[in-house]
Copies of this chain bind each other. A is one copy, B any other.
Amino acid sequence: MSHTPHNQLDETIHQRTRLAIMAALSGVESLEFNELKAQLGLTDGNLSTHLSALERAGYVRIVKSFKGRKPNTAVSQTARGRRAMENYLALLQKILDQARERSQP
């Protein structure tokens, strides 16, 4: 129903830590796992759990490699994740706009 956009808000993105992760990954090529962890003040376990949920949805890509001898984990948003994020933000805006329109005299 077009008047109930909140039902369509993507729960995978809406959870606040995942929203912060998706926002951080928006418009950047990729971020290193530890960089993302530091930026958002998360623990390893917490970030891993949320990245797994985002990966299962196909919203992020996680690539493990080595920089010399050091393991490196690069996280990036997929095209699907980018579209999901755009859709999420548009719906969020719609919820707030509709409330504003209704409140006009």
Contact = CB atoms under 8 A, between A and B. Distances in A.
B102 A4 contact: no
Interface string A56-70: 000000000000000
A40 B6 contact: yes
A95 B39 CA distance: 11
Contacts of A20: 4-6, 95
| Residue of A7, A16, A96 contacting most chain B CB atoms (<10 Å) | A16
Nearest to A101: B27
Interface of A: 1, 3-7, 9, 11, 14, 16-17, 19-20, 23-28, 39-41, 89, 92, 95-96, 98-100, 102-103
Given A28-B102, A41-B4, A95 B23 contact: yes
Given A9-B16, A102-B28, A41 B3 contact: yes
Given A4-B41, A39-B3, A41-B3, A99 B16 contact: no
Nearest to A96: B23
